[in-house]
Every structure is written in structure tokens, then in C-alpha cells.
Amino acid sequence: MSNLAPQPIYRKDYKPSNYLIHTTDLSFDLRDDETLVSSKIHFYKNPKYQAGDNSLFLDGIDLELISLVIDGERVDYELSDKGMQLRHLKDEFVLEIVNRIHPELNTSLNGLYQSSGNFCTQCEAHGFRQITYYLDRPDVLSVFTTHITADKRKYPVLLSNGNLLTASSGQATWHDPTSKPCYLFALVAGDFAVLEDNYTTLSGREVALKIYVEAHNISKTQFAMDSLKRSFAWDESRFNLEYDLDIYMIVAVDDFNMGAMENKGLNIFNSTYVLAEPKTATDKDFINVEAVIGHEYFHNWTGNRVTCKDWFQLSLKEGLTVFRDQEFTSDLHSRSIKRIEDVNALRTFQFAEDAGPMQHPVRPESYIEMNNFYTLTIYEKGAEVIRMIHSFLGETGFQKGMKLYFERHDGDAVTIDDFVSSMSDANEFDFSQFMTWYSQPGTPTVSIKTNYDEISQRFHVEVEQNKGHDYFLPLNYALLDDQGHALKEGMLTIKQHKESFVFEQIKSKPTPSWLRGFCAPIHLLTDLTFEQKIFLVGHDSDAYVVWDSAQQIWLSLILTPNKAHEQLFFNALEKLIQTTPDKSLVSEVLTLPSERFLHQQVAMIDVFDINQKREQMAHKVLRRFEALLLETYNSLNNNQAYQLTSSAVGGRSLKNTCLYYLSKDKDSGLALTQFEQANCMTDQIAAFNALITNNSAHKDQAIASFYQTFKQDVQVMDKFFAAQSSSITSDIGCIKSLMQHELFSFNTPNRLRSVVGGFTQNYINFHHQAGYEFFTDIILKLNQSNPQIGARLVSVYNHWKRFTPELKQLQKQQLERIMQSDDLSNDIFEIVQAALK
Ligand code: B3K
Ligand code: ZN
């Protein structure tokens, strides 16, 4: 590493730009071996910021400047590896630049690059500066006109934001009438097929809807189109928000660092979140496609029309938009299952992030590489914070707040405070104490102690927060009688470090149900007994509490086996399987906590011990329930025509949970039969996983047949690779041969994530010296080709200090090895230095 360590950027250093931009005219000449970018930018002095001299720094990275004039005249400038300094400028002027870039060589997948031979862009957060010199910051908005020239045979489709002004062969000009920051700029040029439809908004605007994909994928786009129309309709009915342009385009590309990007009027998607048909996509894939299509669409208001003043406010758009997409999925599918899945992901991944070296507040104070802050904390914890605001205000109050937010800020770049003030002012609700949720990192712990006094018929509750904390939070509860009926239910408002509540006229000792719906992102410690938790599993009407109580029981039985408790719990499970109509819920309850989650619950991570203990529990479930699991499996294995209804999804989910257990001990033949006869990917991949993970005699046959059937399908092949690389039956030799496979591609993030990301989840084979060394070599290669993906992957070492001494030492050595390497990218440097601290 060089001596000059990268320096953080601080939120406190924010200054408005001294210049703003009226219009940005861009012209792209796309060629095989270079692209010429010409820009004509009309600058004017920021009327709100007249201080300072008339100089301007324009961001620019990896650009070759060809020419520059201001108002038609040559001027002096200084170039550095970060951009261009201009001085002695007029208050208003037009800058014209021509520069050269090389999208054909761009493997970072930021800025302008190629995917499957087509051109596309990714500009958030700082990609535009890899296209041309510009004020690459979200609070400088302008009107863009984009002219594209390209070889018409190779690139018949030429797209950019807004409306098409003119098009002739090999040329197109687009004009976006809405002012936007450059991170929302997009350009696409390529050979695509298109699925077209239209939507009429509430106020009667006719919007043309277009989904562009590579021609061979066109048959897999109908679900995405239907999801898009559902997104338009849902945002109108639930949020009273309409779309504002005459065209909405989605382009799917195979090479993409993230899920998708909400560029104004021209979303660019990782093809995984567009393409779906039952034969190749699982139920979860379908629901994810719909959620991501919704998420990007919802950004049009929460993100695009009202954007962020600086990148520290990222959760302003992301937390809010995740909350909106969660509600979208909940309104369209099973609300309770969506909540359980989201909470499970939050507690498994975000809680770990919040307890690790990269912990940061929902509004961070500094960053080295902004791309490292597209985190679970910004997105998922950010959404939980919005959910708490929603809990305090209720749906009507929340919508009043949203209305005021748009009245005040439509067209602006604003802060999280502006959002919360709108919520506060519209409802006369004081959120000042609530702001700790945005400023304080870490997951709060809340303890509850109760006492029932039979004589006075009072139920006393004491709620205490950790270490002097006084988070402001909602606490949903119910007090249940011995039939599970709620004697009292509601929301307690917690504001102080320690609070007491008394419930009067409680005729017998109740079982409390706490944190219903997981109404706050906290660790909750209660004084519930084992028996009470079992009671909640069998009786609570709140699905989250049912699931969470079962999770707590699984956890204790896996980590500290107890025969008597196990019997009690298994009896309750038996009843649950036999009587609960919601198959998805039964499936969730029957699913053991993941290894990843278990790792968080122990003082020191012994990967092998945890793997073994969890496997032992799976075998105990099988021994106790074999007959019932088989009966349930058979009753659900009906091969009905594929439907995505909650009941059909629940049926498949429970069936495949049964299959998981039934395939544990022996080759029952069930998995092979299901694999051969499956009519949808949900069943196919579940059977494939069962065959691979349990070293079935049919494993090789399954691999060969799966490959033959699906080798043309990129999304299915990602599953094929991930299933193998994450299986404990695949050692490092297998991973190396997967990387030699003809379909492996190092520069395609989805494929790399499926093989290398999968390997890091292969707890038996990843965690030893050779596994770590092999992985670190990959990180060092990514440091050159795609540091953003490298930084994501290297985070697996973040928890090294919590492992058993030998593994801890080995991981530390790898982190040091990375730190010592030359030319470390900011992305990887930031993660590794935080881990080593
Ligand atoms: N806003 C984009 C993410 C951009 C990622 C930058 N590294 C997708 C989304 O959240 O909708
Ligand atoms: Zn988003």
C-alpha cells in the first residue's frame, strides 16, 4: 500500500456548490475501441452561495481530455487524478468539453461499460465522473439532453432518460424535461427485444411501458411487466402518487453490481430481477422481481423527485423506498410471512453489521468509499426506522406527513431532518428524541421484567434499556389469557431509560406477547419461561411472535440440548403442523435458525461445532416426525399447475421444508423423484439442493442432468453454481473446478457471487488456511477489476475476532496480507482497515 492512506469525507464538511447547472447537453459517439463524450454545460453562480472566488472543481476519473472551451474560448485548467480545477470564471458561462473513455475495457461496472456487448451505465453514487467532467453530487440538478451515435447494426436500440426527440438510423436524441442530478443519468445502446404495454394514470396520462432484454429472454418478461403495472397502481392507491413522464423503460443486463438502478424513466436492472417464469424462477425469485420492480418505480417519488442533499442522507431515499416496497409486497402477498422474512434477514445480517467493524448510524458521519455504504443499515434498518414513524402516526398520519413532504420538497435535494420535520409538522408529533435512531450505531437492547399480583389483580411491567440508552420506540404488546385470547393489547411508548407500566384488572396471570410484528429493531430480553414461549408458539395470533418464540426455542435446544424441553417443544410442533392452516407459517416455524444466525448467538464462533449441533437437531426432528413429515409432504406434493397465490407458495414452502428433513438420513428417493418430475424451479432447486447437500448416490447424475436442461439459462446456472459451492460436500477442489467451468465468468458479478460468495457460506470447507488463501487471491484480483464487488466479498472477514483462536489468527493474516498489497482500492481499503482496527 502507498503511504498516502485514503482520507474520509465528513458529513460536517458539506458546503453547497458555488455553481449550479441549468442544462447539460451530452453527445456520445460509441465506437468499438473508444467512446467520445462531448458535453455542453450551462453553469450559473448559486444565488444562495455567493461566497468564495469564482473557481470550480469538476469531478473526473480515468478520463482523457481532448478539448475544453468556455463560451467558445480556450481557458487554463489544472488536471489531477480526481478531476479538473477551473478558476476566474464568470457568474454564468457555457463549458464545452470533449473527452475519451473506454467502456469496452471497463470491468468496474461503474460509469459507462459494456455487458454482453451492449452499452449501459451505472452512475450512482459516483459513476458519472467516469463519463465526463462534472459536478458529480446529488444536490446539483439540471435538465439533460442526450445525443447518441452508434453503429446501427450492432446497436439498433439507443436509449436515454426522458422523451425521444429524434431518431434516425444509428442516432437518437433524448430530452429529459425534469431536472435531475447526474447520478440518475442513464444511457443504453444495444441489440434488444422489447415487451411493450401501457398504463393510464389516475389523472389520465398515457404512459408507454417498455422492457428491453436480450432477444432470447423475451418470453420471460411478462411477470415483470405485470409487476410494473401493479407498482403504478399501488403507488396511486396507497400513496396517491402518480408517474410524471410519458414513457417508462426498463433494461435488463447480465453484468450489474447491484440489483437495479432507478435512473429517471430508464431503469437499468440486473437481469435476475426482471426475468421470471415458473420453470426457471422460484417463488422467492418471483416475489423479489416484483419487489425490485416496485422499489425502483417507487424511487421516482422517493429518490428522484425528492433526492438527497448529500450521500450521508442516502437512507432518506433508500430506507423510505424499502419501507414502501415492503408494504407493496405485504399488501399483495402474505403480510405476516413478508414480515418474518424481513425480520429474519435483518437480525441475521444487519444486526451482525451493526455489531461489527463497519457499524455505522443510519445517517453516517463519514465515508471513504460511498459504495461501501449501500448497506443493510442504510436500507433495512433505515426502513425499520420509517416503520416506527409509521407505527407512531398510523397510516393516516403517515400519509399526511408524506403529503407535506412532497408539498415542501418536490424537485429538491433534501435531508433526513427535512423528512422527519414533515412527519412531525403534519401531525404535531415531536420526533426530536427519535433522531437517535439516525445518529446512533448499534442495535439497542431492551429488557422487560414482569410481576403479577394476584391480590390486586395487577400486572406490573418494567422496561429497561441498555447502558444509559433512551431510545424512543413503540412496543406493541398483548396480554393473553390461558386460551390465547388478548385481555389487553396495544402499543406502549418507550421514551426513557427505564419505564414502568401497570395493567389493572387482570384476573389471572397472563402470558405477555411482546414486540408484536417486530415493531422496533432491537434485541429484546424478556422473563418469559420456556413453557410460556411454547404457549406463544401454539396460541399467539401474531405470526411474528409465533415464529420468534420458536426461533428462541430452537436456539436454546441447538446450543444447549435439553431432553425435557425438546419433548415439550416437539409436542407443540406436532400440533402446529397438524392444525395450522397457514402452511408458510408452519414452514417458517419448522425451519432451524441459520448457521449465520447461530454464529451471532455464541461468544466464540466454532463453525464446525455449530454446523454439527444444527445437523444433530435436524436429525432429531427427522427421527421424531418422520411419519408426519412424509404424510405432510405427500399431501402437498400435488403437482398442480403453477400459481403464485399465498396458499400455493405456502404449500410448496412447507413441502420443501419436509423434503429437507426427509432427505437428511438416507436416500429416500423422494428428492430424486421430485427433481425428475418438478414442474417449477421452486421444487426443482429444493430437490437439487437435497441431492447435493446430502451426498446422495444420485448427486452426480443430478448435476449432469440439471446442467443439460438449463445450461442456456443464466439465472438457473447461477443457482446451479451457488448450490454446489455452498454445499458442505464441496471442498476447495470442487470450488476450483467450478471456477474452471466453461460457464464461469470472473467479470460477471452474479456468477462470481454464486461461486465465490457461495463458497464463503460453505462453513465446513471455507474455514481453513487453504480456503482463506484461495479467497484472498480472488479479492486481490477483484481489487484491480471490480473493487466494489471485492469490498462486498471481503467483508466476510469482518467478524474474524469472534472465531476460535486458530481461525481468528488465520483470518487476521489474510487481512494483513490484503492491507500490504500495492494499489489497494478505496473500497477494499476501507473495509479491511476497519476490520483490523
Ligand atoms: N440506488 C440503487 C443503488 C445504487 C448502488 C450504488 N453502488 C439501487 C436502489 O437502491 O434502488
Ligand atoms: Zn433503492
Q: What is the CATH number of the domain that holds 330?
A: 1.10.390.10
pLDDT digits (tens, 9 = 90+) for 693-708: 988 899 999 999 999 9
413-414 and 307-308 strand pairing: parallel
> How many CB atoms neighbour CB 531 within 10 A?
12
Ligand nearest to the CA of 267: 1
* Nearest-atom index, ligand 1, CA of 262: 11
Residues paired with residue 752 on neighbouring β-strands, in sequence order: none
One domain for residues 32 and 179: yes
Evaluate: CB of 307 within 6 angstroms of ligand 1: no
The verdict on the CB of residue 290 being under 6 Å from ligand 1 is no
Q: Which ligand is nearest to the CA of 268?
A: 1
Question: Of the ligands numbered here, which is closest to the C-alpha atom of 258?
Answer: 1
Rounded to whole angstroms, the Cα distance separating 331 from 234 reads 9
The answer to the question of residue 629 being in a domain is yes
Give domain status of residue 640, yes or no: yes
* Cβ-proximal residues to 744 (8 Å cutoff; 6+ apart), any chain: 721, 738, 751, 755
Q: Dig out the grid coordinates for 567 from the structure.
A: 419433548
- Asked whether residue 579 is domain-assigned, the answer is yes
- How far apart are alpha carbons 778 and 736 in whole angstroms? 11
Ligand 1 and 235: CB distance under 6 A:
no
With respect to residue 688, please indicate whether it lies within any of the assigned structural domains: no
Distances (CA, A) of 564 to 416, 557, 728: 51, 10, 31
- Nearest to residue 11, comparing CAs of 379, 376, 438, 472? 438
From 262, 288, 302, 328, the mutation candidate for ligand 1 (largest count of ligand atoms within 8 A of CB) is 262
For ligand 1, the distance from its centroid to the CA atom of residue 258, given in whole angstroms, is 7
125 CB within 6 A, ligand 1 = yes
Beta-carbon neighbour count of residue 382 at 10 Å?
28
* CA of 261 relative to ligand 2 center, distance in Å: 7
Q: What is the pLDDT of residue 48?
A: 86
Binding site membership of 285 for ligand 1 (Cβ less than 6 Å): no
- Pick the residue whose CA is nearest to atom 9 on ligand 1: 261
**How far is the centre of ligand 1, averaged over its atoms, from the C-alpha of 34 (Å)?**
27
β-pair type (445-453, 523-525): parallel
Q: Is 687 in the pocket of ligand 1 (CB under 6 A)?
A: no
Residues 34, 175 within the same domain? yes
Atom of ligand 1 nearest to the CA of 788: 7
Give pLDDT tens digits for 484-522: 999 999 999 999 999 999 999 999 999 999 999 999 999
Kindly report whether the peptide bond that precedes residue 125 is cis, defined as omega within 30 degrees of 0.
Answer: yes
The number of the ligand nearest the C-alpha atom of 263 reads 1
Task: Please tell me the distance between residue 597's alpha carbon and the centre of ligand 2 in angstroms.
Answer: 25
Give me the number of domains the chain comprises. 5
User: Are 90 and 64 in a shared domain?
Assistant: yes
Which pLDDT value is given to residue 3? 55
- Alpha-carbon distance 547 to 590, whole Å? 9
With a cut of 90, say whether residue 717 has pLDDT above it.
Answer: yes
Per-residue pLDDT at 742: 98
**Grid coordinates given for 418:** 427535512
- The answer to whether residue 398 is domain-embedded is yes
pLDDT at 354 over 60: yes
Show the beta-strand stretches assigned E in 162-246: 163-168, 171-180, 187-190, 193-200, 206-213
How much is the CA Rg of the chain, to the nearest whole Å?
28
CATH code, domain carrying 457: 2.60.40.1840
> CATH number for the domain including 264?
3.30.2010.30
Q: State whether 3 and 148 are in the same domain.
A: yes
- Closest protein CA for atom 6 of ligand 1: 124
Is residue 86 within 8 Å of residue 77, measured between CB atoms? yes
Are 243 and 265 in contact by the 8 Å Cβ rule? The answer is no
- State in Å: Cα 260 to ligand 1 middle: 6
Ligand 1: atom nearest CA of 296 is: 11
Residue to mutate, 321, 374, 786, ligand 1, most ligand atoms under 8 Å from C-beta = 374
Give, using CA atoms, the residue closest to atom 7 of ligand 1: 371
- Report which protein residue has its CA nearest ligand 1's atom 1: 261
The answer to whether the CB of 318 is under 6 A from ligand 1 is yes
Question: 175 and 282: one domain?
Answer: no
Mean pLDDT of the chain, nearest integer: 97
Expressed in angstroms and rounded, the spacing between residue 548 Cα and the centre of ligand 1 is: 31
Mean pLDDT of 289-298: 99
pLDDT the model gives residue 1: 44
**Mutate which of 113, 288, 318 to test ligand 1's pocket (most atoms within 8 Å of Cβ)?**
318
Q: Which protein residue's CA is at the shortest distance from atom 8 of ligand 1?
A: 261
Of 621, 638, 665, which one is at a domain's C-terminal end? Answer: 665
- Closest listed residue to residue 274, CA positions, set 714, 694, 672: 714
Is the same domain home to 147 and 30? yes
Residues 496 and 382 in one domain: no
Minimum-distance ligand 1 atom for the alpha carbon of 125: 6
473 Cα: distance to centroid of ligand 1 (angstroms):
28
Residue recorded with cell 481557458: 75
Is residue 595 annotated as part of the catalytic site, yes or no?
no
Ligand 1 and 296: CB distance under 6 A: yes
Looking at residue 674, its amino acid is: Q
The span from the CA of 175 to the CA of 24, in Å, is 10
Establish whether residue 325 lines the binding site of ligand 1, counting it when its CB lies within 6 angstroms of any ligand atom: no
Residue 289 is assigned to a structural domain of this protein: yes
CA nearest to 291, candidates 245, 343, 331:
331
Pocket lining: 827 vs ligand 1, CB cutoff 6 Å: no
Is residue 394 left, alpha or beta, with left meaning phi > 0 and alpha meaning psi from -120 to 50? left
The verdict on 300 and 203 lying in the same domain is yes
Question: Of 136, 169, 191, which residue sits at a domain end?
Answer: 191
For ligand 1, whether the C-beta of 300 sits within 6 Å is: no
The residue segments making up the domain with residue 16 are 1-191
Q: pLDDT tens, 648-696? A: 999 999 999 999 999 998 777 999 999 999 999 999 999 999 999 988 8
Residues 152 and 225 in one domain: no
Q: Pinpoint the alpha helices (H) of 595-713.
A: 595-601, 607-636, 646-662, 670-677, 681-693, 699-710
Q: Which position has the grid cell 443457482?
A: 719
The CATH number for 187's domain is 2.60.40.1730
- The pLDDT of residue 345 is 98
Domain check: are 185 and 203 in the same one? no
Q: Whose CA is nearest to atom 2 of ligand 1?
A: 261
How far is 532 from 511, CA to CA, in rounded Å? 7
Residue 730 forms part of a structural domain: no
> What does the pLDDT average to over 31-58?
92
Q: Let me know whether 476 and 386 are in one domain.
A: no
Q: Which residue, judged by its Cα, is nearest atom 3 of ligand 1?
A: 261
- Measured from the alpha carbon of residue 321, the closest ligand is 2
Among candidate residues 38, 36, 37, 40, the one with its CA nearest the CA of residue 24: 40
The verdict on the CB of residue 295 being under 6 Å from ligand 1 is yes
- Nine cell digits for residue 473: 420506540
Q: pTM, whole model, 2 decimals?
A: 0.98
Catalytic residue among 124, 290, 296, 369: 296
Atom 10 of ligand 1: nearest residue by CA position: 318
Residue whose C-alpha cell is 389523472 = 203
- Adjacent-strand bridge partners of 144: 24, 176
What does 360-423 look like in DSSP terms, one character per residue? --SS-SEESSGGGG--HIIIIIHHHHHHHHHHHHHHHHHHHHHHHHHHHHTT-EE-HHHHHHHH
Cell numbers at 250, concatenated:
426498463
Contact present, 270 and 259 (Cβ < 8 Å): yes
- Quick one: average pLDDT of 445-460? 98
Q: Which of these three, 439, 454, 472, is where a domain ends? A: 439
Which residues touch 237 (CB under 8 Å, ≥6 apart)? none
Question: What atom of ligand 1 comes closest to residue 110's alpha carbon?
Answer: 7
Residue 526 maps to a domain: no
> Ligand 2 mean position to 272 CA, how many Å?
16
Q: What is the pLDDT of residues 731-766, one digit of tens each?
A: 999 999 999 999 999 999 999 999 999 999 999 999
Query: Are residue 118 and residue 175 in the same domain, yes or no?
Result: yes
